[in-house]
Amino acid sequence: MKVQPKYKTIEDFAAWLSEGNHKPSAKFLRDMIVGIHNARSVNLTEIAAVLNEDINQHATQKRLSRNLIRKELADAVANQILNYAAGYVKASTTLVVISHKLEKPKSRKMQYQYEFSSSTHADYSYRICEIVAHDTGTDFYTPLLSVLWSRNAPDYVSDTDEIRKVVERVLTATNGRGVLALSSDFLPEKTIYELIQSQNCRFTAKIVNGHLIYHRQTHTIDDLIEHCDTPYGGTMFKLRGKDIDSTNEILLFMQFGSVPIRLPDSQQPLKLVVLKTTNQSGRAGKGMALVTSELKKRSRQAHIDRIETQFLVWNLAKSILEQKRNFSPDGFRVLNYERLQLLMTLLHAVIFFDAQTTEHLKNHDVSLQPIPGDYVRDFLLPGDAEVLHR
């Protein structure tokens, strides 16, 4: 989704976000947003360095750290961006929901950072949920909302509760416009089931486990994948490899179709889209199941549209997480939980600005068309065939 940039420079964008605040808060917001953008970092030392104020750099750093305690600014900044961008969300806009952890290796002093299991294994308690908007046929995307929480915070109930609140905030801002794209690759399946059962929303959701009702009988997902008729066909292209130097692009043959289903304890009519793939050697891959409210026509293109939604989730999640990693979000040095929440909100503001001015959907790890790039392929491109015939 492409929104009209509010301002073309980071300085003007920061000024817009700081409007209506008292002078100390307004200056803090402008300095943090410009500083994060120019330093490409959330580290206060590096931010203070690029601000290059006519005072001791350490004094700048202390001022920024002191003002990060203004927790009311987190909601104010997030809501200003969300309410502005929501005006561009259409009924058909895809709203990709992603949840991931925020790691801070070798740190033991962060407030509410760690949770410990009975086996004394430590895991990161900080989690982030973000919703990103995208319109079919474009390479532009818009980060709508990003929220951080800790599983050890006093007000924590569950990850599902936190994610549900983020989804509700976005759907309220868009007046219900947009189609949720949910995937078990980035969300707990328990969360997905609760969202599609409790929310009055449109959605396409990839699920792996659980039970669905088909012809008044309860079936497992695997059973429905195995027995679903797949009358439509096509090809897809997928990148494989751990890094760019070892990445191969492979061609897969697709067979897909759908069956009418509903969720247990629900009367809402839904469809289960099933995708099966085989490689050129005839080896079958694991089938994929998508529960959707959006398959209104029994046509090949209608099924393709739902399958491409899942491709978008994979591609967009990689793009937004790589964009975020460019700012080294694990480089923060604030120990207070509320300071960290505001810091991540300000990072979200900078990423929103970049997405509207310079960034676009670059990563296409899976596509219905050959993926641009210099890859080792198990198939020939049209140009390759011409070279072979010379």
Query: In sequence order, what DSSP letters do the residues of 24-84 get, joined into one string?
Result: HHHHHHHHHHHHHHHHTS--HHHHHHHH--SS-HHHHHHHHHHHTT-THHHHHHHHHHHHH
Residue ranges of the chain whose pLDDT lies below 70: 104-124, 199, 242-246, 335, 363, 383-390
Residue 220 in domain = yes
Q: Which residue has the tokens 């300071």?
A: 339
With H, G, I as helix, E, B as strand and everything else as coil, classify residue 210. coil
Note the pLDDT of residue 123.
56
What is the phi/psi pair of residue 13, to 5°? Answer: -65, -45
Residue 389 in domain = no
Residue 324 in domain = yes
Integer Cα distance of 112 and 125 in angstroms: 7
Chain segment 306-329, per-residue pLDDT in tens: 999 999 999 999 999 999 999 988
Residue 28 in domain = yes
Candidates 163, 125, 159; CA nearest to 145 is: 163
Which residue range forms the structural domain that includes residue 303? Answer: 10-379
Note the pLDDT of residue 143.
96
pTM confidence score? 0.91
Residue 85 in domain = yes
Note the pLDDT of residue 116.
46
Residue 384 in domain = no
Residue 386 in domain = no
Residue 222 in domain = yes
| Structural domain total, the chain | 1
How many other CB atoms are found less than 10 A from the CB of residue 373? 11
Note the pLDDT of residue 332.
77
CATH of the domain at 250: 3.90.350.10
Note the pLDDT of residue 3.
81
